[in-house]
Structure 1
Amino acid sequence: MTVVFTCLDADTLGGTQQVTHTLAQGLARRGHEVHVIGLQPAASPFRYVRHPRYQRHVIGRRAAEGPLARRLSDRRLKELLRRIGPGYAVLTSPSVVARLSGLLPEGFRPIGQYHSSYDHARGCWHLASIRRHYAGLDQALFLSDDDARLFSEHALLPNAYTLPNPLAVWPEEMSDLASPRVLGVGRLEGVKRFDRLISAFARAKLPRPWELHLIGDGGERERLRAHAERDGVADRVVFRGLVPAALMPAEYLAASVLALTSEHEGLPIVLLEAAARGVPAVAFDVSGGVRSAGPVLVPPGDVDAFAAELARLAGDEEERRRLGADARARAEAFRLDHVLDRWESLFAHIER
C-alpha cells in the first residue's frame, strides 16, 4: 500500500519528526511505498535515518509565504499527491490537517495524528482545530487511551483511536544503574522547563559525585547556566550540547535516573528509550502518554516533590533496579514491530 506522512516541517530536531521518520522507515521495510512530505524546509535539518527506504519531499520555502506563494505551494503539493496516490495520507498535526483540508486528491484516506495531550490542546488553539477538522477524517490518532477518550468525549470525535509512538530499536544492553548521574534530554527551550529540573536537582541535595547531565541545545542554554549558578550547582550541572543519535545509547547506559520536567508532553521518546535500557524515570504527570511509559509521577510543577523523588532514587540502588526492570517490561509494548502491526491493522480496519 501507499502511505504518505505530511509534516509542517519534516526535518527539524523534534519528537514528531523522529516518530514520522521511524514509522516511515519501518513501513517501507515491510514493503509499503512510503513518502515523507515537509510543507516547508527545516532551518537546521536533522538526519534521522541514514539510509531511508522511503522518499522525501519538501514543498515550500522557509520564508513567510504570501497568497501567491501559498497557492503555488498548494498546487505543487496536489500535483505530487496525484503522482503518488491513491493511498493513506497521515497528517501529523492540526496545522497540517487544516492546511490539507480540500487539497487531498480523490482516493486518499486521511488520518490525523495529534502528538501532544488533551490538556495541552485544551489550553491553546489545537482543541478548536481538532473539533473542526478531525471528525471528518477516516481516523483520528492519539498517543494514549486516556487522551483518545478525552478527545472522543470533549471534541465529539467518533473516530478517536490510540496508536503510541514507537521505539526505533530494541536494545539488549541495560544500564547497571551504578553511575551517579541524572539525565535530562531535550531542546533547551522554555517548554521543557529545565530550570525546574536544575532547581529540583539542587534541592535534592544529592551527595557528590552525583551530577545532572543535560543533552540538547537551544535558546535557553545561557539562562539555564545562570540558573544553575544561582542554585549553587553550576559545577555539577553538565551541559553536553547536541549528541548524535548514534551515540545516545551510551548516554542512557551511563545514567541511573532520567528526569522529565516538561510543561507539556505527548508520549516522549526519551522516556521509552530510557525505559528500554532499564533506566527509571521521574516525570511530571502531564499526559496519558507520560503515564503509559511508567515513570515515577509527580504533580505538574511541584519542584519539591520532584526533588524528593530524585533523592529517593539516588539513595536506593535496589529501588532503581526494581523500577528500571518494570520500565523495561512496560516498554515492550512500544517496540517498533508491535506498533507497525497496529498501523497495518488500522489500515485494514479503514479498508473494511
Structure 2
Amino acid sequence: MSVVFACLDADTLGGVQQVTHTLAQGLAGRGHEVHVIGLERSRSPFRYVDRPLYHRHVTGTRRRLRRLLGAIEPGYAVMTSPSVVARLSKLLPPGFRPIGQYHGSYDHARGCWHLASIRRHYLHLDQAVFLTEDDARLFSEHALLPNVWTLPNPLPCWPERLSTLTAPRVLGVGRLEGVKRFDRLISAFARSRLPPPWELHLIGDGGELERLREHARREGVGDRVVFRGPVPAARMPAEYLDASVLGLTSEHEGLPIVLLESAAHGVPSVAFDVSGGVRRAGPVLVPPGDVDAFAAVLAELAGSLGERRRLGADARARAEAFRLDHVLDGWERLFAHIER
C-alpha cells in the first residue's frame, strides 16, 4: 500500500518538514509508493532531498486535495500535526489508515491549544505517534488516548567523518524566530567570555534577523556573531565538522534534529532542558532560561578539548539509535501492527 505524508506546509525550513522528507525518501527507497502533500504553498521553499524518489504535491484547495487523494491507492495517511489532522482526517477516502504524528512534547502541548486538539481528534485515528515513551505515556494518561505509539525522528544520514573539535566555533542552527530564542544563545556566548578567535555561527533565516544583529551588538559580541543565513541540506555536514560545540536555547522542542546531527558528527551540545526529546538526545542540560548556567557550560567546554571529545564520543554513541534504517524499521513495524 501507499504512504501519504501530509503537512500544513511541506517545503518550509523546519524540523517537521525535514523529518517528513527524510522518512519519505527512506520509505520510497524501500519500495513503498510515497507521497508528500503540502496543504499550503510555502513562501520560501527549501529543498531537503536533491533527487526525491517520492511524489511531491501542493494542493491549496479542498477540491484539489480530494481529487489528489482519490487518485492515490489507499494506504497509510500520516498527518504530521494537530492542524493537519483536524483538516484532513474527515476527507480521507475509504481504505486509508489514518495516523496522527505530534512533533512536540506533552509539556508544550498542554501549554497551548494542541492538547485539546489532540484529545479531540487523535482518539479516532488508527494510531497516534509521539517522539518519546514519556510523551506517549503522558498523552495516553492525560488525553485519554488508547492508540499511542512511539517513533523518534531519524537522522537523514550517518556521517563517517567526525569533527576534530578544534575549531573555535560555537554553532546554532534553526529558524531565526522568537520561539528559538537565539537572543539567549547570543547572551550566553557573550557572558561565557570566550576570547577571540572563538565565534558564534548562526545558521538559518527568519524575521528576527535584524533584532538579533542588534542584540549581538548590545552584548558586545557583534563582531563575533556570524549570521550565515540558510545553508543547503547537502552542505550541513561540513558545518558540523567545523564546529566544536552546538547550542540550543529554544523555548520548547520535541526531538530536535540539530541535536542528533551534531551528535552524529561527534560534536557535544548544550541545551535547555525543555522536553523528553531533548533529554533523550543527550546534550549537557541546563535549567530552562538560565542563561548564566548556559554560559558557564560553554566556557567549560571551550576550555577543555578533552571534555569536548569525551562528550562528543558519548553523543555519537547515543545517536546510533536514530539512524535512518532503525527508524524506518520502526515505521514498518507500525504499519504491520495497524494491519493486525
What's the TM-score once normalised by structure 1's chain length?
A: 0.95
Match of 1:238 among 202, 214, 226: 226
C-alpha distance in 2 between matches for 1:229 and 1:211: 14
C-alpha distance in 2 between matches for 1:189 and 1:80: 33
C-alpha distance in 2 between matches for 1:172 and 1:78: 44
Code of the residue aligned with 1:317 in structure 2: it is L
1:327 corresponds to which residue?
Answer: 315
Secondary structure class of the residue paired with 1:102 = helix
C-alpha distance in 2 between matches for 1:85 and 1:152: 31
- Counting only pairs closer than 5 Å after superposition, residues 84-233 of structure 1 correspond to structure 2 as 84-233=72-221
What's the TM-score once normalised by structure 2's chain length?
A: 0.98
2:31 corresponds to which residue?
Answer: 31
1:318 corresponds to which residue?
Answer: 306
1:277 corresponds to which residue?
Answer: 265
Secondary structure class of the residue paired with 2:91 = coil
1:184-236 per-position Cα deviation (integer Å, ceiling 9, x unaligned) = 01111111100000111111111221111111111111111111111111111
Q: How many residue pairs align between the two structures?
A: 340
- CA drift of 1:150 comes to 1.1
Contact in 1 for aligned 2:81/2:100 (Cα 8 Å): yes
Question: Does structure 1 residue 305 correspond to structure 2 residue 293?
Answer: yes
- CA drift of 1:146 comes to 1.5
C-alpha distance in 2 between matches for 1:219 and 1:324: 32
1:15 corresponds to which residue?
Answer: 15
Code of the residue aligned with 2:177 in structure 1: it is E
Q: Which runs of 5+ in 1 are unaligned?
A: 61-72
1:81 corresponds to which residue?
Answer: 69
C-alpha distance in 2 between matches for 1:288 and 1:23: 22
Contact in 1 for aligned 2:47/2:233 (Cα 8 Å): no
Give every structure 1 segment of 4 or more consecutive aligned residues whose post-TM-superposition deviation is greater than 4 Å: none
- CA drift of 1:301 comes to 0.5
Query: Could you say what the CA RMSD is over the residues aligned between the two structures, in angstroms?
Result: 0.9
Farther-moved stretch of structure 1 (47-56 vs 90-99) = 47-56
1:256-290 per-position Cα deviation (integer Å, ceiling 9, x unaligned) = 00000001111111111100000000000111111
C-alpha distance in 2 between matches for 1:85 and 1:93: 23
2:55 corresponds to which residue?
Answer: 55
- CA drift of 1:85 comes to 2.7
1:231-266 per-position Cα deviation (integer Å, ceiling 9, x unaligned) = 111111111111121211111001000000001111
Secondary structure class of the residue paired with 1:184 = strand
Secondary structure class of the residue paired with 1:328 = helix
C-alpha distance in 2 between matches for 1:79 and 1:208: 59
